[in-house]
Every structure is written in structure tokens, then in C-alpha cells.
Amino acid sequence: MILVASELGEVLSPPVRRIREWPDGAIDVEVMLKNGWRPRPFRQFILKVHSRCNLSCTYCYVYHMADSSWRGQPTVMSRETLAATVHRIAEHAEEHGLPVVRVVLHGGEPLLAGKEYFGHMAATFKDVMPPDVTVQFSIQTNAVLLTESFLKIFLEHGIRVGVSLDGASVVHDRRRVHADGRGSYDEVVRGVKLVTSPAYRHLFGGLLCTVSLDADPIATYTELLSHEPPAIDLLLPHGHWSGPPPGRAAGADSTPYADWLIAVFDRWYSSPDPPEVRLFQEIIYLILGGASNTEAVGLTPSSLLVIETDGSMEQVDTLKSTYEGAPETGLNVLEHPLNEALRHPSIVARQLGLDALAPVCRRCPVVKICGGGYYPHRYRRGSGFRNPSVYCPDLLRLVQHIQTRLRGDLERLDAENDA
């Protein structure tokens, strides 16, 4: 069943005029360019190929949080819009000399676009992209509609598959539900079993799990491990200072999410052959002096652009959790080159690293690791995004715990080498 407006919530209140909030009016891109600053080109493109979903997950930032723009979006990205999108990506890659671009097929639920859509999409990229540019495709799905016929198309075009699974059935079925409240665990696991079968196993990109404080962390991790994923993404629920996530009281010193994640980290870190858990590995890379490949932690400039079904260029779509219209740029692939989005002040703000952070963050001893936290999680109504993350105490405790574990192991190795 495809969700319609009546199934997703109450009628919206009249729009409220928003006051200026950072970075509104705070960034003069033209002056920055004259002074030598240069934006980082986009390398990852999230294509919203379908704007509706067959589930109504309780924590979904698209349908159940502040932004309701999905209601005005075309259901499917048309072939005309898809063609314009591919041409803009090809133009951008050629102009900036990019050897690789990543294309993530997203929604809503992207499988609602139908099997033929993905074959046409892949053929369009093949016809249009410069021959020296590699396109890495992936799709993020709830797997309810996943069938072998989809997987055969993904196999033909090298489209890797990531699946959202929130742990054991008792937890998953409370949160990842159909519009009528039915759980989806059995359907999702059926899809996971398909993509992990021998013929398609190499397409499996891993599992995405949103942390739930009412779920046992080790039981959740054990459930995820039972599907033998090559990678696990543990995501913090989306929230901010004006709409805190469950169990995270804004301003409180408690660390419920760090406690949950540390339990999983200790089990993961002590295992002889664990899967990649991206959050933990990114923090370890940063502690050791490397750079992050994710916006969740670290100061690496964002290089991601979202293309909606109508061709609108948007910032990271999780900004929909903050306020109505938050991801919008006013640009569209049918009319504008991608370079114009690189000059949009709100996109520039996510490429400024340390300069985009609140003063209290810049004084923090773990700022280069935490990076101020995920950008949408910094939002506070009235001041905008120049705040610490609403998860600040959790991030500090998690980073310091991992630092302690690493330091102990490195000191032990040094002692063994000196012996």
C-alpha cells in the first residue's frame, strides 16, 4: 500500500513565518570566493526516485516530522527529470575531474518505482556519463518489495543493496510498520534472505539500524549479526534542541545513547572478525588522525546533494526533521547546473568545518573527532544550526570511551615492542 496524506498524519497548521536563523544572511559566498575559498564538488547524489512509501515508520523524518514537502512532490521521478539529473551529474563530474561518483537510489521506498525504472536509469547513466567516470550505484530499501526479479536487474547493473532493519522483531515491529500498524519484520527478513543468497550476496551493502533506547543493545547487535552483513550503520534518531529525540532531554548531562552504543562497541571491538560498523570505525579513523567519510562525525566538508522527484536540488534530506522547507535551495536540475548549489549559503555552511561550529564546540578537546555532531541535530529554533549537537553529552562520552580503549591497546603494543 502506498501512503497518502490522510494516512500519514493530521492536516498541517498554517505555515509560520520563520525568523532569520544561522546561517541565514551570515555567509557571503562571493566574498569567500574572492578571498580564495573554494567549494568541494559534489561526489554523492541521493536520487529520490519515488516520493511515497509502503511503510509508515514511527520515526520517519520524511513523513512524520517538521517538513511536509513530500505532499507536493511527483510520485515518481519522471524520465525527463531523470535524464536532466544524469546530464547535470555528468557535467559536474567532467568539470571537476571526478573519477568516481556515488548514486544512492532513495525514497520514500525506491522499489515502488518498479523494476523497469532501474534498468532505464542505469542505461541512461551509461549513455550520458563520461567514459572515464565510474558510477557506483546503491539503493536503500526497506526490502518489503524486494524480489529476485529486482535483484537480477541490480545484478546486471551493479546496484548494491542496503536494507533498513531495526533489530529483533519485537522492536522492529513497533517502529517499522505499515500504515495500518502491522509490523514488517517478517517481510524485511524475507528480503534480506534473498539478497544474502549465494547468487546475490556480493550485492549486499549491509544493514541500517536506528538506535532505540527501549531495545537491548546486545540483543539488537546480535540480531543484525545473524544476517552476516558486511557493514552496519547505527543511526541516532533524528532530533534537535527544539524537538529532542526520545530519551534525550535537551541540556541534560545524562548519556543514554552513549551507554547504548558503548555496550555495542565493546562487544564489536573485542570480536576477532567483526563487520564494519561505520560509526565506530569513523571515530577510530579520526582519533588516529584520519578524515571521516560521513557527516555524522568529523569535520570533512559535505559533498552530498539530494535530487527530489521533481528535480529540486536539496541539502541533506534529514534536515526535514528541523522545520518546513529546511533542505530547499530553490534550484532545479531542469534549469540550473549543480555548481549553483555549491554557492548556496546553507550548503557552504556544511563545508566550513570548524568555522561552522558554535564557540563552545571549538573549545572542546574532541571537536576534530565529534565535529560538532550531525548538522541537523544542532538545530535550535531561533538561532539555527550554530549550536552543539543535541547529543553532545552522548558524543563526548562515546568518543572518550573509544579513545581510552585505543590508548590502552596502543600502549600495550608499544610495551610489547620495547620488550
Give the start-to-end residue ranges of the domains of the chain: 40-418
Is the CATH number of domain 40-418 2.40.220.10? no
DSSP 203-256: GEEEEEEE--TTS-HHHHHHHHHTT--SEEEEEPPP-BTTBPPTT--TT----H
Cell reading at 206: 549491509
- The CA-to-CA distance between both ends of the chain, in Å, stands at 66
Cα(139)–Cα(208) distance, rounded to whole angstroms? 12
pLDDT score at 239: 97
Answer yes or no: are the C-beta atoms of 223 and 173 closer than 8 Å.
no
- What lies within 8 Å, CB to CB, of 27 at 6+ separation is 345, 348, 349, 352
Phi, psi (deg, nearest 5) at residue 186:
-60, -40
| pTM given for the model | 0.93
Identify the pLDDT of residue 160. 98
CB count within 10 Å of CB 229 equals 23
Residue-level pLDDT, tens digit, the chain, 419 residues: 343 333 333 333 444 456 789 999 999 999 999 999 999 999 999 999 999 999 999 999 999 999 999 999 999 999 999 999 999 999 999 999 999 999 999 999 999 999 999 999 999 999 999 999 999 999 999 999 999 999 999 999 999 999 999 999 999 999 999 999 999 999 999 999 999 999 999 999 999 999 999 999 999 999 999 999 999 999 999 999 999 999 998 789 999 999 999 999 999 999 999 999 999 999 999 999 999 999 999 999 999 999 999 999 999 999 999 999 999 999 999 999 999 999 999 999 999 999 999 999 999 999 999 999 999 999 999 999 999 999 999 999 999 999 999 999 988 887 878 76
User: What pLDDT is stored for residue 38 in this prediction?
Assistant: 96
pLDDT score at 18: 64
> Which pLDDT score, from 0 to 100, does residue 1 have?
34
Cβ atoms of 286 and 368 within 8 Å: the answer is yes
H-helix or E-strand containing 284?
helix 278-287
pLDDT of residue 11: 33
Say what the pLDDT of residue 144 is: 98
Peptide bond into 25 cis (omega under 30): no
